[in-house]
């Protein structure tokens, strides 16, 4: 079933795109650290309960996207489910990555951040909902554009 593969992609993105993964990338690129030092820095404060806490917040926009696509599967709009899923996934993932990167950037570039990044990590998920909706809409428009292009070529 091809839908299951896309759902697994969505779930993997939701679970793996967290502030630890971005801190690793930031340590390598912005912090100019080696892999070992960047890994140690990124995962120094990792605990399973903390990871699960932030994952619950990150799952909010992905869960809403999943519910929307599952609802579309039972309507005449079902053929647009995959483009909406991919567009929404791209929108949410890029927004969360951008927001986490911006919130953690002062750790590597300037004065030590206050507690604001921790709050940003929580509230980014709420801001990702409209961005995911716009991404889903962009995926739908891309599908319509692709269909129009195919019809014009035949």
For residue 57, what pLDDT is reported? 84
Q: What is the pLDDT of residue 1?
A: 38
Distances (CA, A) of 28 to 36, 104, 110: 10, 14, 17
Do 140 and 80 contact (CB within 8 A), yes or no? yes
CB 69 within 8 A of CB 84: yes
- Residue-wise pLDDT for 69-108, tens only, equals 989 989 888 888 889 999 999 999 999 999 988 888 887 7
- Confidence at residue 114, expressed as pLDDT on a 0 to 100 scale: 65
Residue 48 tokens, joined: 């399973």
The pLDDT, as a whole number, for residue 139 is 93
Low-confidence ranges of the chain (pLDDT < 70): 1-3, 111-116
* pLDDT value of position 64: 92
């Amino acid at each position: 079933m091809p839908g299951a593969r896309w759902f697994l992609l969505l779930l993997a993105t939701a679970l793996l795109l967290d502030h630890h993964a971005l801190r690793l990338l930031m340590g390598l690129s912005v912090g100019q650290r080696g892999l070992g030092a960047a890994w140690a820095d990124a995962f120094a404060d990792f605990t399973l309960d903390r990871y699960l806490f932030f994952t619950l917040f990150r799952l909010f926009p992905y869960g809403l996207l999943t519910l929307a696509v599952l609802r579309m599967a039972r309507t005449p709009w079902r053929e647009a489910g995959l483009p909406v899923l991919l567009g929404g996934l791209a929108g949410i993932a890029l927004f969360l990555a951008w927001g986490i990167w911006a919130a953690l950037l002062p750790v590597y570039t300037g004065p030590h951040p206050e507690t604001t990044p921790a709050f940003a990590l929580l509230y980014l998920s709420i801001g990702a909902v409209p961005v995911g909706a716009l991404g889903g809409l962009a995926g739908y428009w891309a599908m319509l554009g692709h269909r129009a292009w195919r019809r014009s070529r035949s």
